[in-house]
C-alpha cells in the first residue's frame, strides 16, 4: 500500500512506519502485522481500528519499542523507536489503568517523575496541574480503589502525561467502561489533547469512537494484520456531542465499515 499523503495539521511526519512486518515466533505461520506503511504527523490524532487479532496492539507496541519488528523500520522524528523511548518521547495508557493501590492518586501521577530526579515540590506541583487538567484535583489524596473505573483511567492519562511526552500511545483505554462513561471520557480526552498538543495513536475496535476522536482512522484487517484503508475524518474541531448523530458522522462510520475486507 502506498504511504498515505500528508495533509492537515502539520506536514511534519513524526512517526514513520516503513514495510513493518511482525512474526511473534519462527514457528508461527501467520504474520501478526504484514508490510504496514504509515506516516503520522506531529500533533495528529490517529486511530488504529479493527477487529480482535488484527494487530492493533502489536503495532502500538512496535511504535513504543516494547516489541521489535521482524522486518521494516520505524522512524520517530529522525530517531529509532528505541532512541525515542530512551528520550522519553512516549506516554502510554493501557486498557487497564495499572495504578498502585497503596499509593494515593497524586503519588501515582508523580511516579514517572521520580526517575527524572526533579525536586519533590516540582513533582507535586506538576502532578497537581495534571490532576486539574483531568478534572481530579479533589481526589489527589484518595486511593485508586476509591475511584470509579473512568476516574482511574483519567489518573492513568495524567500519569502518562507527567513526563510531557510528545507522543501519547493509548491501547483501548476506555473499552472496559460503560457507554456513557466512554463517551464522556472521549470528550474529556479531546479537551486534554487540545491543551497538551501531543501526537496521539489510539487503539480501538469501536467505529464511533474512532470517528469521534480522530483526524484519520487506520483500518486493519486480521490474519495477517494489514492496513487496508486510511480514512480522513474532516469533522470540525472542537468535536461536540451533537456531531455523533450528524449525517456526516454516519456517512464516515459507514465508509469505514465498508472498508473492512469482505464487506
Q: Which stretches of the chain bind ligand ATP, using CB under 6 A?
A: 24, 32, 50, 52-58, 205, 225
Smallest distance from ligand ATP to CB 55, Å: 4
Q: Which helix (H) or strand (E) holds 17?
A: strand 13-22
The DSSP secondary-structure symbol of 251 reads H
Measured CA to CA in angstroms, residue 161 lies from 11, 32, 93, 126, 165 at distances of 24, 29, 9, 10, 6
Nearer to ligand ATP, 4 or 53 (CB): 53
Nearer to ligand ATP, 130 or 227 (CB): 227
Smallest distance from ligand ATP to CB 85, Å: 19
Nearer to ligand ATP, 42 or 205 (CB): 205
Smallest distance from ligand ATP to CB 56, Å: 4
Nearer to ligand ATP, 133 or 210 (CB): 210
Helix (H, G, I), strand (E, B) or coil at 53: coil
Determine the Cα–Cα distance for residues 135 and 123; give it in Å rounded to an integer.
18
Smallest distance from ligand ATP to CB 98, Å: 16
Determine the Cα–Cα distance for residues 36 and 15; give it in Å rounded to an integer.
13
Smallest distance from ligand ATP to CB 110, Å: 30
Smallest distance from ligand ATP to CB 249, Å: 23
Nearer to ligand ATP, 70 or 198 (CB): 70
Nearer to ligand ATP, 223 or 237 (CB): 223
Strands, E assignment, 26-83: 33-41, 45-49, 71-76, 79-80
Measured CA to CA in angstroms, residue 208 lies from 80, 140, 165, 251 at distances of 33, 32, 27, 11
The DSSP secondary-structure symbol of 90 reads E
Tell me how far apart the terminal alpha carbons of the chain are, to the nearest angstrom. Answer: 19
Angle between helices 179-196 and 120-133 (to 10 degrees): 130
CA angle 139, 140, 143 (to 5 degrees): 75
Smallest distance from ligand ATP to CB 193, Å: 22
Angle between helices 149-161 and 105-114 (to 10 degrees): 30
Of 188, 181, 222, 216, residue with least CA distance to 202: 216
Nearer to ligand ATP, 166 or 171 (CB): 171
Given the C-alpha cell 481500528, which residue does it identify? 49
Amino acid at each position: 500500500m502506498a504511504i498515505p499523503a500528508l495533509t492537515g495539521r502539520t506536514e511534519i511526519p513524526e512517526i514513520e512506519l516503513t514495510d513493518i512486518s511482525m512474526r511473534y515466533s519462527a514457528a508461527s505461520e501467520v504474520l501478526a502485522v504484514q508490510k504496514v506503511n504509515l506516516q503520522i504527523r506531529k500533533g495528529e490524532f490517529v486511530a488504529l481500528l479493527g477487529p480482535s487479532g488484527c494487530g492493533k496492539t502489536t503495532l502500538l507496541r512496535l511504535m513504543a519499542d516494547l516489541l521489535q519488528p521482524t522486518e521494516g523500520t520505524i522512524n520517530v522524528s529522525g530517531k529509532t523507536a528505541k532512541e525515542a523511548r530512551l528520550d522519553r518521547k512516549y506516554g502510554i495508557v493501557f486498557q487497564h489503568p495499572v495504578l498502585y493501590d497503596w499509593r494515593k492518586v497524586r503519588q501515582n501521577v508523580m511516579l514517572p517523575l521520580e526517575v527524572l530526579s526533579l525536586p519533590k515540590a516540582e513533582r507535586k506541583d506538576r502532578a497537581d496541574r495534571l490532576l486539574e487538567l483531568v478534572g481530579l484535583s479533589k481526589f489527589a489524596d484518595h486511593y485508586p480503589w476509591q475511584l470509579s473505573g473512568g476516574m482511574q483511567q483519567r489518573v492513568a492519562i495524567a500519569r502518562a502525561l507527567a513526563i510531557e511526552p510528545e507522543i501519547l500511545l493509548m491501547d483501548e483505554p476506555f473499552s472496559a467502561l460503560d457507554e456513557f462513561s466512554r463517551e464522556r471520557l472521549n470528550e474529556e480526552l479531546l479537551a486534554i489533547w487540545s491543551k497538551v498538543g501531543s501526537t496521539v495513536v489510539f487503539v480501538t475496535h469501536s467505529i464511533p469512537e474512532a470517528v469521534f476522536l480522530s483526524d484519520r482512522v487506520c483500518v486493519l484487517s486480521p490474519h495477517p494484520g494489514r492496513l487496508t484503508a486510511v480514512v480522513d475524518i474532516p469533522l470540525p474541531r472542537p468535536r461536540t456531542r451533537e456531531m455523533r448523530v450528524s449525517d456526516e458522522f454516519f456517512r464516515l462510520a459507514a465508509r469505514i465499515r465498508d472498508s473492512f475486507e469482505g464487506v
